[in-house]
Amino acid sequence: MTDAKTRIDETVKANDVVLYMKGTKSMPQCGFSSRVAGVLNYMGVDYTDVNVLADDEIRQGIKEYSDWPTIPQLYVKGEFVGGCDIITEMTLSGELDGLFDQNGVTYDKDAADKIRAANA
C-alpha cells in the first residue's frame, strides 16, 4: 500500500484540485461522483480526476490516506475537503467559493450563484 500512498500523495500535492471518484469527470460512474464532478464542471474549476475503478490499490489507498471511508473525495491544495455531502453543503452555503478564493482556485462565481439559486 506504500506505493499507492506515495502516488496519491504526489497527485494531491502536484495539482491544485483533485477529485478521487468512480469514473471520470466526463463519465462519472456513480451518483455521488457525478454530483461532485457536476458541481466542479459547472463552476468551471480546472481539476484532476482520478478514476478509482481503474486501480484497486488507489481505490483502497485513498480511503486510508484520508481516513475517510467513501468516494468521491475532493482535495484542494493538498488538503482533504470532503465527500459528496460535504461538498454539496459547502457549495450551497458559499463555503466552497471561499475555499477556492482563499486558495487561488479559479472558478465561475456566477455559476456558483446559479447553483445556490436553483437550490434555494
Give the confidence band of 41 by pLDDT, cuts at 50, 70, 90.
very high
Average pLDDT, the chain: 96
Residue whose entry in the numeric block shows the C-alpha cell 499507492: 4
pTM of the entire predicted model: 0.96
Which residue, among 42, 49, 55, has the nearest Cα to 25 in the 3D structure?
49
- Confidence category of residue 120, pLDDT binned at 50, 70, 90: confident
Angle subtended by helix axes 109-118 and 84-93, to nearest 10 = 100
Instruction: Check whether 1 has a pLDDT greater than 70.
Output: no
Q: Which of 75, 74, 77 is nearest to 104 (CA)?
A: 77
Burial 36-51 (b: 16+ CB within 10 A, else e): bbebbbebebebebbb
Q: Which CATH class is domain 2-118?
A: alpha beta
67: which DSSP letter?
A: T
Q: What is the pLDDT of residue 24?
A: 97
Give the pLDDT mean for 35-63.
97
Would the annotation count 84 as a binding residue? no
Question: 100: pLDDT confidence band, cut at 50, 70 and 90?
Answer: very high
Separation between Cα atoms, residue 40 and residue 17, nearest integer Å: 10
